[in-house]
Structure 1
Amino acid sequence: MYARSAPWGADGAPRPLGISDELAPGIVAAHRNVIIVYVGAELATAFKNDPAWGRYIREIVELGAREQVKVYTVLKEGFDLASSRIGELLGDTQALTGALLHEQGSLGREVSQAITQWITGTSQIRVFISHTKHSSLVETDANSGANIAQRVRDVIRRTHLDDFFDAQDIQAGDDWEAVLDGNAEGSALLMVRTDKYAGREWTQREVLTAKTADVPIVCLHALTGGEDRGSFLMDHVPSVPCSLESPEGGIVAALNSLVDEALKRALWEAQRVYHESDGFDWLPVHAPEPVTLTQWLRVHQREDPGDEHVWIMHPDPPLGPQERDVVKSLCSLAGFTDSVEILTPRTFATRGGVLPS
């Protein structure tokens, strides 16, 4: 990710983007390229009066016609794109709502969501709100799971996220696991973790199903009195604190994080095929943990009974030493004693990009 605005050379246009041609020998264009054009009076003037800038913007529009390139525009507040000459060129480009520039994190969410939808081919990201209607003795109606879930719905309605899907309101006969698995590509789970959330059978099932489907999960921590013991099913996910006096800030931050997780998943899925060719057995979107590892090991034993090694790659950051030891111990108990490797792209590269022979 980089910015282009300062002149490059004698004319007023920035340096090339490195998509049509290599920026330097060996630096090839990315498989996916996103260009965001911030359009205001200054750019419109440069486009109109400076031939170099005119060529630069026209080249961006031409790049946008390529399959591996997507161009978005962000409009400066008060700028009328339709009445400008640059608007004639950029008018058909998908715009990201300029008013969101005033809301912290909202523009980033819009950008991440747009890229995710482009890569996955989905129309929108669907948010599953997981909460419990059961309250502890110290919780009030204002800070109950049901109330905070409603506040989440209110915030979602002001975004471009898909209509929420409340798993607690599934109709009789619906199969929650089938619904989530069938929509995993464009779905994400938001845990509204109030005092009784971790101990409820239904919420545990929701989180377990979401982890098994490898969909994005973010926890919105909204505890009042605390938990008796929590649940090992609920951890190992990004978490955002929620102020019960003023929960909207935490809700917005959690939704922003959830969209970021959806983008990470989309990018990992797009590059998974390249890592599979390196010989890895498992390429989960999230770092392995006992909850997901045990289920995967069961399938791996059944599908490849003669295999004695486990080679896992997951996105950065890497697991800590103690976490790796637990993963290796579980693999050993499952009978994989030959070689257990848990790597990320970065740690794999430091080893020369080669697995044990």
Structure 2
Amino acid sequence: MPNALFSATARPLLVVYVAWHPAFKEGAAIAETLRKHFRRELYENVAGGTGLSVIFRSEPAPGSSRPLPIDLDDAETTAIVALADSSLANDAGWVSYLRELASQTAEAGLNARLFPVSIEHAGLLVDEQALRWDQWAQTLTGEDLHLRLINELTYEFCRMLRHYLEHLRRPTEDDDALVKYLQKVQIFLSHSKHDDDGERIARLIREQLYVGHGLGSFFDVHDIPAGLRFHEVLLKQVAQSAVVAIHTDSYSSREWCRREIIEAKRRNVPLVVANCIENLDERGFPYMGNVPIVRMDPQQATRIHVIIGRLLDEVLKDFLWRCRIQLAGGVEQTVFFVPRVPELISLAGLPSVDEVPHPTIVYPDPPLSAEEERLFEAVAPHVRLHSVTEWLAEETI
């Protein structure tokens, strides 16, 4: 019998449409930037195939002045990004098309959203809150402007998938009841207080999260108070948590920093390492691997927007993976899903051999390298390791 995960994910989890008026000269370049970001390997492993599907709507359909319609039933969730400039605003056919999309997504509920991007003030055409490219362009240019749009959209996709995940978990509850589950994602800024850089950089990241992008409505930023056990905090917030580890010179030497990393790995929460080494790390901590590492000069601290962007990517990947697993349903209790490539610390999250003699760890593609598999075989020969594609292939035989 085919595995439930195989049949349940026949439809893509998230499809992104990008629509722009053909007279808007920058539209194709912006759309291509979005396509490259969301289709790249970053999202292949959790979304399957070649990353998220990004489909363009610009040229008119044959015999029409408007693009092809969008079928919201083609995916579990659908995001429509409309690049609204003066060319679109002055074309009655396109204005009608955009307003029909707004009505269509409103009727579909929160599994489909229209995200207008106001390229110019004239592009404010629908009731949905627009992403204000026109305002960002007053202080940003080029790559930074595109990165701002990517970060804002990733944030919005996270919110949409968070709602969808709660709907999968509680299908009998209506949208009003689900609102109470839309709590903020907890971000823990793990840093050393024993050098000059750790606390200062943590403060800068916190400020940019709350001020620079308005992400305070989605993220709740914390340090772990002294004397409070990190694992107890994460246990209470594990379903909606993420960690930024600010790796300064003294970080690996601090017991609590090491414990925070270990607990984050054991709980499989999204984790990004900000490499802020100024001079020397005497003993690199081995459990800080298998996650994105962003290099940042601790004195300049000019790449905080990149750290935030990677954090958003990791949170979105986590929601995609959770949705994919939730859609599976009814999976044997001997199968354990982890959202990133397994490492030896992944074994710490498994039940005892007496409880589950032969557990299977299923992880996002691609499969582990041969040398990594040999290491697992030497340490835990009773544990089976499968990428999700390998597992699906075995289950459908």
TM-score range with shorter-chain normalisation?
0.7 to 0.9
Q: Does structure 1 conserve the Cα–Cα contact (< 8 Å) formed by 2:268 and 2:339?
A: yes
- Which residue pairs with 1:40 in the alignment? 85
Q: Distance in 1 between matches of 2:353 and 2:117?
A: 50
User: 1: CA distance between counterparts of 2:349 and 2:186?
Assistant: 26
Structure 1 residue aligned with 2:323: 270
Cα deviation per residue 1:8-44 (whole Å; 9 max; x = unaligned)? 2121211232325xxxxxxxx1111111222222222
1:96 and 2:148 are equivalent in the alignment: no
For residues 325 and 244 of structure 1, the distance between their equivalents in structure 2, rounded to whole angstroms, comes to 38
- Secondary structure at 1:303's aligned position in 2? coil
- Contact 1:13 1:56 (C-alpha < 8 Å) held by counterparts: no
CA distance in 2, matches of 1:79, 1:19: 27
CA distance in 2, matches of 1:19, 1:100: 30
**1:31 is aligned to 2:76:** yes
Deviation of 1:125 (Å): 3.3
Give the equivalent residue in structure 1 for 2:361: 312
Distance of 2:106 and 2:346 partners within structure 1: 39
Given that residues 198 and 234 in structure 1 are in contact (C-alpha distance below 8 angstroms), is that contact kept between their aligned partners in structure 2?
no
Tell me which amino acid in the other structure corresponds to 2:115. Y
Q: Deviations over 1:305-343 (max 9, x none)?
A: xx43x43221234322222222233321xx45xxx2321
SS at match of 2:265: helix
What is the CA-CA distance between 1:356 and the residue it aligns to? Answer: 8.9
Root-mean-square deviation (CA, aligned residues, Å) is: 2.5
Does the CA-based 8 Å contact 2:271-2:292 persist in structure 1?
Answer: yes
2:387 aligns with 343
1:115 and 2:157 matched: yes
SS at match of 1:128: strand
Pair 1:80–1:57, CA change in 2 (3 A): closer
In 2, the alpha carbon distance for the partners of 1:302 and 1:114 equals: 44
Structure 2: give runs of 5+ residues left out of the alignment: 1-53, 164-181
CA contact (8 A) 1:117 1:123 kept: no
Which of 191, 196, 199 aligns to 1:131? It is: 191
| Helix, strand or coil at the partner of 2:380 | helix
Residues 262-315 of structure 1 show CA distances to partners (whole Å, capped at 9, x for unaligned) of 00000100010344656571111122111122x133x152433xx43x432212
If asked which structure has higher relative contact order (CA below 8 Å, sep 6+), I would say 2
Do residues 165 (structure 1) and 165 (structure 2) align?
A: no
Gaps of 5+ in 1: 21-28, 82-86, 136-140
Q: Quick check: 1:176 aligned with 2:221?
A: no
| Equivalent residue for 1:285, pick from 321, 335, 339 | 339
Aligned positions of 1:135-150 closer than 5 A: 135=195, 141=196, 144-150=197-203
Which residue pairs with 1:79 in the alignment? 122
2:379 matched to which residue of 1?
A: 330
Name the SS for the 2:79 alignment partner: strand
The equivalent residue for 1:201 is 255
Matches within 5 A, 1:47-62: 48=92, 50=93, 54-55=96-97, 57-62=99-104
One-letter identity of the residue aligned with 2:114: V
1:66 to 84, 108, 117: 108
Amino acid of the structure 1 residue aligned with 2:81 = I
Please tell me whether the aligned partners of residues 100 and 107 of structure 1 are also in contact (alpha carbons under 8 angstroms). no
C-alpha separation in 2, matches of 1:66 and 1:32: 10
**Between the two proteins, what is the percent identity of the paired residues?**
23
Change in 2 beyond 3 A, CA 1:180/1:77: farther
Which of residues 295, 300, 312 in structure 2 aligns to 1:259? Answer: 312
Q: What's the offset of the Cα at 1:247? A: 1.3
SS of 1:248 mapped into structure 2: coil
Distance in structure 2 (CA, Å) of the matches to 1:274 and 1:319? 24
Contact 1:134 1:196 in 2 (8 A): yes
**Matched residue SS, 1:129:** strand
SS in 2 for 1:71: strand
Say yes or no: does 1:303 pair with 2:355: yes
Q: 1:326 to 1:355 in 2, by over 3 A?
A: farther
State which of 13, 16, 23 in structure 1 corresponds to 2:69: 16
1:206-225 aligned at under 5 Å gives the runs 206-225=260-279
Counterpart contact for 2:86–2:120, Cα < 8 Å: no
When the two structures are superposed, what TM-score results if normalisation uses the length of structure 1?
0.79
Deviation of the 1:97 alpha carbon? 3.5
Partners of 2:239 and 2:131 lie apart in 1 by: 22
1:354 aligns with 2:381: no
2:368 is matched by which residue type in structure 1?
L
More helix by share: 2
